[in-house]
Amino acid sequence: MILVTGATGNLGSAVVDQLLKKKSIDEIVCLARNEDKAQPLRDKGVQVIIGDLEDVESLQRAVQGINKVLLISTVDHHRFQQHKNLIDAATTAGVKHIAYTSALIKDVASSAVSAHLESHFQTENYIKETGLTYSIFRNSLYADMIPIYVGKEVFEKGIYLPAGNGKVGYALRREMGEAIANTLVQTDNESRIYELTGSEMYSYQDVAEILSEIAGEDVYYTDADAVTFPDILKQLGIPERMIMVASGFTTDIRNHQYEIVSPNLAELLGRKPKNLSEALKEIYGNKS
């Protein structure tokens, strides 16, 4: 029996879709916060427990009879406590294996978003302390997030970000979900840390060139001033938390924090993951 948290989110639903192809439906349990969002899972016949990572009673119900738990990290600023709640419930219930979706970065201590990322590594350490076997997936930045960073009018106005010439091994979230599902169905439960990245690294100049190809016209990348960039976002009415995240992650890209390429995603997929050109064409479609 496998429990998937965050099952109605983008990564969680990608994992569940793949598990449904590989496991009997009565071997999959999903934890979801929202009844309406969970309905499509129920329509497929999947057992859904309504609850969340702050509701300890719901977690205790969710882990009963479960062998493996996939804990998909939350974005809440109380993330570590939420994760700890589920890990404790799983340990008490006799769960044998815990999988966790973490973050991939060269040096979290020097990251511009270290306060945001630190809880990932607190969670990793707490899982290790349980003595249970584990799978930790350190995920690179999602290709799917590029449209959020470049904005809705990227084809008209181009890309304006303070990311320098830093590169990222972007990967599609759905392919990461497939790789995670492939791991969950394995009978080998040895503890392992996986780094899930694309097979190549790309800068935002590369992103602009790919979008130019998709659009059939030039899309330009402007390397924005990192100091004034947050003020510009503030003037545009962007919420403070989003400014912090956008500024922090682009600063880390500029500082080459995500320049990591690993073969793990390809190994778990059994094929080479889509390159960024293929990924962005899937995301945007053909604009020409």
Residue 38 three-state SS: helix
Burial track 23-45 (b if 16+ CB lie within 10 A, e otherwise):
eeeeebbbbbbeeeebeebeeee
- Return the pLDDT at 286: 59
What residues does each domain of the chain span?
2-140+172-196+261-273
- Return the pLDDT at 78: 82
CATH for 2-140+172-196+261-273, among 3.40.50.300, 3.30.750.200, 3.40.640.10, 3.40.50.720? Answer: 3.40.50.720
Joined together, the tokens standing for residue 90 give 């799983």
pLDDT digits (tens, 9 = 90+) for 8-27: 999 999 999 999 999 999 99
Contacts for 57-60: CB closer than 8 Å, 24+ residues apart: 58/31, 59/31, 59/85, 59/86, 59/89, 60/89, 60/92, 60/93
- Return the pLDDT at 287: 58
- Return the pLDDT at 86: 96
**pTM for the full predicted model:** 0.93
Joined together, the tokens standing for residue 214 give 């998709």
Q: What is the DSSP letter of 248?
A: H
Residues in the chain predicted with pLDDT less than 70, given as ranges, are 286-288
Measuring CA to CA, how many Å separate 287 from each of 171, 213, 214, 218, 277?
A: 21, 9, 6, 12, 13
